[in-house]
Amino acid sequence: MITSLIEDPNLIGNKAANLSKFKGLLNMPKSLVITTEAFREYIKDKSFLDKLVEYLDDSLSDFKRPLIFRSSSTVEDTPEKSYAGVFKSVLNVYTKEDMKEAIKEIYEDFLRKSREDIAILVQEQFTKGKFGVMFGFDDKIVLEVTLNDPTGITSGRAKIKDLYIIDGENAYVYNNRNWKILFDLEIEKIKEADGKIKNVIYPYDVEFIVYKGDFYLLQVRPLHKKPEFRIGTSNLYGVGVSSGKVMGRVSFSEDNKGGDKILVIDEVPFDEIEKVKEFGGIIIEIGSLLSHIAIHMREYGIPAIVEVPIKYFREGELIEMDGSTGEIRFLDRRGFEIPRIEREIEIYDPKMLRLLIVDKYAFVLYPKDGYSILFYRDSRGLDYVLRISEDPLVDGGVDSWHTYVTILELSLLDSEVRGDFERVIKAIEEANMEKIEKLYGELKNKISRYYREAEMKEDLYLVEKTYAYIRLVRNVLLFEYGQKLMNNPKFMELVKKDEGERLPELYKIYELFDKLYDRIEKEHGLKKMDYTSYLAFQIDILKKESKV
């Protein structure tokens, strides 16, 4: 009645049988299967459920909680049809009572929809990580990924998500943020997984998670209809998820149907999917390219667009939609235009930044709700950091590297740098131009003073301190956190004044760095290029000098 993953779809259903083909090839959560035999016993005598749960609880004694119970019927996930999301899955199963309710829910739901057999795939459930869906076809990978939400992509309700199109060596990401969910090394792991999956099932439809930098396969099925995704320009722009161009009148009601109608709706419940067949096209506010509803629209051959607010439409107006490009034209209107999605540039609060030093490498973390944005200089040490972080890390890139890591490292040792950093932040938050102008003058004087002293003494610490003050003025005060004041005329005058004045120390500091780095390499054999952390470099220098 309970078995491990084996390639027998009649016994364990297609979902579990498909997954079994990848044992030893890809990482997968710990799994077992309640077989179709158990389902047939349940049909004969529903009291059998108590005995099944007792046996199952013993079999799961070494499984971590929570668990997820997934339907694995003999009719879903076949080469002919997916039935994506049609049958029940139950998350967050902890106790025996939870198990009993989950099995009953899945069985009873299936009995209402089918007369075939069903097994149940039981897996250890990931609660944190980068959950996604990816399609492999035509030597391309199209994937959507979200954070800490196992059903966010399949339901189309993910609040934070990225769309990636991987074509050979090129990876394109679509979102409206200045950071992305996946790091390049994680994209490489996905490409490696794609190479293994396509040797077994192709084209494919996969649910996965990237957890602590590693790819885990959650489920896999044959892909039936390929999505088409191109960036379009039109009166209104959404994400095309099912190809085809159609003209029709807007209908907000599933009862006002017909081939000349386009249904515009916030979302489509799974038990009402069949009704959509009566429309010429569908526009959905909540959804995504790889969501279950999108899969069904492609299988039905109905043009569909998602991620379009329904507030832009009027009942009965004539529109034209293109499910390939996501373009929508309002034929009854003139001069109507919604701008394309623009990337929002987030201004990070410096008080929330956290310095992380691992071995020779320094990173900056910006904590968010359940995840952190990671800033870095290059990929060295990144794999290790991803593995030790309990919350997912997302790719903030290198934009703030020089700005903040130097200041934060110096702030650990130097109370003057730390105090001035705090004064700058406070002055900007108060929008106090008198303080800002005074600080600007004081900090520029410190740059000149510390540079002269560093040049005279050829002291690496003083060079680094000078550099920290340069970044504090140029980046934090004027061009990064200072962006909060871009609408202030006096602040903009200060920015223009700074642009018009040469800062000689900014150019000479690099020459002084190179001179000292060359000397340290000759004397101690240490190369600064092997480090991204100034403190780690300085500590190794002191270790070498103490042995001399």
The answer on pLDDT for 468 being more than 70 is yes
Q: What is the mean pLDDT of residues 45-59?
A: 96
Instruction: Evaluate whether residue 426 is within a structural domain.
Output: yes
| 3-class state of residue 4 by DSSP | coil
| 3-class state of residue 28 by DSSP | coil
Answer yes or no: do 377 and 455 share one domain. yes
d(C-alpha 493, C-alpha 497), whole Å: 6
Instruction: Evaluate whether residue 312 is within a structural domain.
Output: yes
Instruction: Evaluate whether residue 342 is within a structural domain.
Output: no
Q: What is the mean pLDDT of residues 396-405?
A: 72
Answer yes or no: do 363 and 428 share one domain. yes
Q: Give backbone dihedrals phi and psi of 227, rounded to 5 degrees, phi first.
A: -80, 150
Q: State the pLDDT at residue 233.
A: 44
- Residue 319 sits in a domain whose CATH number is 3.50.30.10
Q: Of 191, 222, 253, which closes a domain? A: 222
d(C-alpha 527, C-alpha 521), whole Å: 6
- Residue 183 sits in a domain whose CATH number is 3.30.470.20
> What is the chain's mean pLDDT, rounded?
90
The answer on pLDDT for 371 being more than 90 is yes
Answer yes or no: do 505 and 378 share one domain. yes
Answer yes or no: do 528 and 424 share one domain. yes
Residue 406 belongs to what domain range? Answer: 350-542
Instruction: Evaluate whether residue 229 is within a structural domain.
Output: no
Q: Quick one: DSSP state of residue 351?
A: G
Q: State the pLDDT at residue 241.
A: 87
Answer yes or no: do 406 and 480 share one domain. yes
* The residue count for the chain: 548
Q: What is the mean pLDDT of residues 440-454?
A: 95
The contacts of residue 331 (CB under 8 Å, 6+ apart) are 247, 317, 318, 319, 320
Number of H helices, E strands in the chain: 15, 23
Give Cα 16 to chain centroid, integer Å. Answer: 27
Domain count, the chain: 4
Answer yes or no: do 86 and 163 share one domain. no
The answer on pLDDT for 195 being more than 50 is yes
Among the listed ranges 170-179, 213-222, 278-287, which one has the minimum average pLDDT value? Answer: 170-179
Task: Write out pLDDT tens, residues 136-146.
Answer: 999 999 999 99
Q: What is the mean pLDDT of residues 247-251?
A: 95
Rg (CA), the chain: 29
Q: Which of 419, 520, 524, 517 is nearest to 468 (CA)?
A: 419
The answer on pLDDT for 540 being more than 90 is yes
Among the listed ranges 268-277, 302-311, 396-405, 464-473, which one has the minimum average pLDDT value? Answer: 396-405
Strands 258-265 and 245-251: parallel
- Residue 104 sits in a domain whose CATH number is 3.30.1490.20
Answer yes or no: do 406 and 282 share one domain. no
| 3-class state of residue 34 by DSSP | strand
The answer on pLDDT for 44 being more than 80 is yes
Answer yes or no: do 177 and 274 share one domain. no
Q: State the pLDDT at residue 25.
A: 97
The answer on pLDDT for 462 being more than 70 is yes
Instruction: Evaluate whether residue 519 is within a structural domain.
Output: yes
d(C-alpha 256, C-alpha 262), whole Å: 10
Instruction: Evaluate whether residue 310 is within a structural domain.
Output: yes
The answer on pLDDT for 402 being more than 80 is no
Q: How confident is the model at residue 399 (pLDDT cuts 50, 70, 90)?
A: low
Q: Which of 147, 154, 128, 141 is nearest to 70 (CA)?
A: 154
Instruction: Evaluate whether residue 336 is within a structural domain.
Output: no
Alpha helices (H) in 244-369, listed in sequence order = 292-300
Answer yes or no: do 250 and 298 share one domain. yes
Q: State the pLDDT at residue 400.
A: 55
Tokens, residue 64: 């971590």
The answer on pLDDT for 339 being more than 50 is no
Conformational region of residue 370, where left means phi above 0, alpha means psi within -120 to 50, and beta covers everything else: left
Q: How confident is the model at residue 212 (pLDDT cuts 50, 70, 90)?
A: very high
53 neighbors 231 (Cβ within 8 angstroms): no
pTM for this structure? Answer: 0.82
Q: What is the mean pLDDT of residues 188-201?
A: 97
Instruction: Evaluate whether residue 547 is within a structural domain.
Output: no
Q: Of 124, 153, 181, which closes a domain? A: 124
Answer yes or no: do 104 and 246 share one domain. no
Q: Of 124, 146, 174, which closes a domain? A: 124
The answer on pLDDT for 427 being more than 90 is yes
6 neighbors 20 (Cβ within 8 angstroms): yes
Q: How many CB atoms lie within 10 A of CB 406?
A: 22
Answer yes or no: do 113 and 142 share one domain. no
Answer yes or no: do 200 and 254 share one domain. no
d(C-alpha 331, C-alpha 119), whole Å: 50
